[in-house]
Structure formats: structure tokens, C-alpha cells
Structure 1
């Protein structure tokens, strides 16, 4: 689903400021041509503040289809047009570059991220993720670590972003499956049971950036 006139866009602007990079702005497509979309100045709805955009600003954007599917794409600012209101011109997305994510389900991407794990408050160790998503992870660790199906873990995930900022995301998770591997390591699949929305959004953003890197 490509954005069309009158569709609403939900936008994050690439920034070295962590709080700013996580802010989501809303805009509307006012016009289009062969290569570009013309959108209204984005607004941060919680505060009511408009977001000024500059030439070359990199944007992560999603739209929501009527059936509740989010369609993600990357774009950047290419210019402006003065109409009744000033419009921002951005590069139009290609169908092949868009990522679909169902609501209440989360993109999972392969990623080797460091993870600090506490099992039953005593068994503490470091693991390395195999894949990561907004609903859970899988990770590798030493075979000697005690991990059983149904066990609750407390975890601190190291979350790196494209702009060089590194954050931590804390969550509690339940081991869905644990198995021994032929290489002598253990693998555990974990679903999140408790996670704050800001920490989940950190993970989702990292996954989105990682998938764009893999596409390139």
C-alpha cells in the first residue's frame, strides 16, 4: 500500500538527540507527482507543536491501512512548495521498499546484541541475541546456564541505533523453549511478559533500522 492523497503519515525524524528521534509526528498527504509526495507540516499531537523540516532530513514513515496493517518506508525531504499552506516535498516510496507489520504483531530481525540475563534473581550471565522483535527475542548462551521452559527472566538488552546512540531496554520474559545446539551452546526463545512501551519502542526502532540495513 503506497501513500496517496489524504492519507495520514506518521513520521520519525533522524536525529542525534534521542528524545527527538523517538518523537512521532503526524501529517497528511496533500498532493503528489511522479516522484514526490507533498505533505503538510508535521505536528506532534501530544504537544500541538509543528516540526520544521530541512532539506535532506531523513524520515522513517508509516501509514495504516483500513485493515490495521502498518506499512513502513524511509524517505527524505527534497524541497518545499507554497500553496494555501506550505507543503514539504518528500521522495515517494517504492512498493518493494515498504515493510508490512500487523498490529499486535512485531517484526523480528536477525541481530547479534548483548543481553544481560538474571534467572530467578541468582543465575546471572551474558547472552547474545539471535533475533530480536517487539514481542520477544531468542538468544545464545553457555550450555551450563540453567534455562527451562516457563522460567521467568529479567533482562537488560543493549540497543544500538544508526545515529551512534546506545540505549538499554529492560524487560521480563518467559522462556518458551530452550535447547542444546551442536556447537555446545544453548539457545532460548523468550516472549516479553512485562516491558514498558518506551523500551518496546526502542527495540522496534532498532529492528526497523536493522531491516533497512539488511535490505541495502
Structure 2
């Protein structure tokens, strides 16, 4: 059963920062339609600080139904609405995606895909991803391409499908974390900061196909 209007939601946010990922926030459903829930801006448990969410952020959500049973589902931010208060639009899950068992793992798969990037100073490079999901990706950076946390990048991702088809996914991303590797390269974690929902669906389709490939092995 879907959560109802005025239902309290408990939220955790996918993040490259482990401390942030374990924080829990509280919100409430203000409205709903066929594809989305509109929720109030989340508030951190314990200190009542509002948490600003960004387009594309992945969320793990739980709620307690009338029988006292806690249910879980994963989703992501699809937009914002300005009403009397600011509301956050999140994707409504399918009924079969709601579980009584917590599944914190987001839909992220290991994949070596070509990613063309352009930095704000118009420097360009082609890189390979390490993993990818509906909210962002990790990518290997060569030393000659200078990258730093908070940097904004324009990106073009080459996405192959099982049927032989190929899509080009365009988006803008923000560097949220950089890990220095022994090889001399950096592993940069990027989150989608601007991406059309149709483009995100291409990424999610690839992830589902790759996950299915893993299960068949």
C-alpha cells in the first residue's frame, strides 16, 4: 500500500560522505499524483535543520502504516514545486518496489563506459566510469585533467544496451568527492545536478540490464 497524504516519511540520502549517508531526516507527504509524491523539505532528526535536496538525489525512504509495519522504498528527486511552502517532487515507486525489508543499496552497477566531459574553463577529456546509478557515477581521471570537489562538469555518456543499441546521455554533474588512487589517477564521484528525466531513464534502463546480467551469471 502506498503512503498517504500527511504520512510521515523517514529519509536517508545517498552520498559519497558516509556520515551524511547515515543521517536520517523526516518529512511529510503534502500531495500525490500518478507518478510522484510531493513532500515537504526534509528536517534532520534531533536538531530540526532543514535539508536542501537537489534534482536527481537518490533517497531511501521508510514509513509506518496503520498496522504499525515499517515499509521501505528507494526513489530520487524529480523536481520542485512552489506552493505556500516549497515542496520536493520525488518519483512514486511501483507497488512491487515497496518492501517490509530495508534495502539501502541503491541501483548502482559497476560499468566501464566512455564519458566525455567539459569543465567550466572549456577543458575537455574522455574518461571511463567505474560505476553508475540513477543519481550519479564514479569516473577515473588522469593526472593531466585537474579536477576538484564542487566543480561543475558538462558530460556526455555513451550507454550500450543488450540489444546492440547505443544511446548518448547528456547531463551536468557536480564533483562531490575525489579519491586518490595508488596508480596516480583519481576516482571522482559525480552526482547529476541537471539531467532530463528521459535521459535519467536511459541510465536506469542500462543499470537494470546490467543487474540482470549479473544475476544470470
1:141 Cα deviation after fit: 2.0
Unmatched segments (≥5 aa) in structure 1:
1-44, 46-65, 71-97
Give the distance between the partners of 1:157 and 1:143, measured in 2 at CA.
Answer: 21
- CA deviations over 1:57-88 (Å, ceiling 9, x no partner): xxxxxxxxx84637xxxxxxxxxxxxxxxxxx
Larger radius of gyration between Structure 1 and Structure 2: 1
What is the match of residue 188 of structure 1? 188
Give the distance between the partners of 1:191 and 1:132, measured in 2 at CA.
Answer: 10
Q: Structure 2 length as normaliser, TM-score? A: 0.52
What is the match of residue 214 of structure 1? 214
Aligned residue pairs total: 126
- Does residue 122 of structure 2 align to residue 126 of structure 1? no
- CA deviations over 1:111-164 (Å, ceiling 9, x no partner): 000000001141100010000001000000211211100000110000111110
Q: Secondary structure at the match of 1:162?
A: coil
- Does residue 69 of structure 2 align to residue 69 of structure 1? no
Q: Structure 1 length as normaliser, TM-score? A: 0.52
- 1:55-204 alignment to 2 at 5 Å? 67=71, 69=73, 106-204=106-204
Q: Secondary structure at the match of 2:147?
A: coil
Q: Secondary structure at the match of 1:214?
A: helix
Task: Give the direction of change, closer, same or farther, for the CA distance of 1:164–1:186 in structure 2 (3 Å limit).
Answer: same
Give the distance between the partners of 2:72 and 2:182, measured in 1 at CA.
Answer: 41
**Between structures 1 and 2, the one with greater strand share:** 1
- CA deviations over 1:166-190 (Å, ceiling 9, x no partner): 0011111110012321012121000
Q: Quick check: 2:73–2:97 contact (8 Å CA) kept in 1? A: no
1:106 Cα deviation after fit: 4.5
Give the distance between the partners of 1:147 and 1:100, measured in 2 at CA.
Answer: 38
